[in-house]
Amino acid sequence: MIETTAAPFPTIRVRPWLGRLAIAGSLIATFMALVWAPTDAVQGDVYRIIYVHVPLAWLAYLAFFVVFLASLGWLWTKRAWFDALAVASAEVGVLFTGMFIVAGSIWAKPTWGVWWTWDPRLVTTAVMFMMYVGYLLLRSLSTDFARRATRAAVLGVIAVIDIPIVHLSVLWMNSLHQLPTVLRAGGSPALDASMGMTLGICVIAFTLVYFAFLAERMSIELERQRRMFEARA
């Protein structure tokens, strides 16, 4: 039995405020990233790409972890609400992953001399991207709602294993990609205080963008579900 009478996602009510906060946060973050933060002694100004690359990467991890939790929620309760949360988070996660891969590639050219290399971090990230593109494609293979949601949820639970592999690949294997700068085991961030603060503001701004997109996309999905169930009734 599919449960469709769950209360609306609470953030839907604060959606307009989330959008405004996301825009304000993004403007402040972009100003700090491009103007306020000091120039790096080694890389010069091109390091400023870190302020979009790293937050997008972290938010992609978060988005796919939310897919994992929502997938468990669907498998456990069969509430359609969880399926809407999973597809919304997967879609935003794929967008963010695609953007941080391309931003990383643009950063790689002036620093490594190449747009792409078969580095463990890059390869595991590309695999993660393809897995979640596959997750979205899988959803279009069946018109039966429960079957589609269950198949997607199984993949959503399995695919989460790639998140720690991506993050730890630079420690497990020889990698051209730099080691973790902020989330380092047993050490403080290897980053100047003002750069760290700018990165923190950028993470907050992108987190607001993520939740604003999540609420909007989820609202559209819940509306689509409502129409589908009404048509069947």
Partner 1 sequence: MIENLGFIVAAYVLVWGGIAVYLISLRRRRANAGSTRN
Q: Helix, strand, or coil here: 1? A: coil
Q: Helix, strand, or coil here: 161? A: coil
CA separation for the pair 193, 190 (Å, rounded): 9
For partner 1, give the closer residue by CB, 149 or 202: 202
Least distance (Å) between residue 15 CB and partner 1: 8
What tokens appear for 21 in the block?
């906060």
Least distance (Å) between residue 13 CB and partner 1: 6
Residue 50 Cα to chain centre, angstroms: 16
**Residues that bind partner 1 in the complex, under the rule CB under 8 A:** 8, 12-13, 15-16, 26, 30, 34, 44-46, 48-49, 52-53, 56, 92, 95, 98-99, 102-103, 106-107, 109-110, 209, 213, 216-217, 219-220, 222-224, 227
Pair 217, 92: CB distance under 8 Å = yes
Phi and psi dihedrals of 152, rounded to 5?
-65, -40
For partner 1, give the closer residue by CB, 158 or 178: 178
For partner 1, give the closer residue by CB, 154 or 200: 200
Least distance (Å) between residue 220 CB and partner 1: 5
For partner 1, give the closer residue by CB, 6 or 12: 12
Least distance (Å) between residue 53 CB and partner 1: 8
Provide the total of helices (H) and of strands (E) in the chain, helices listed first.
7, 0
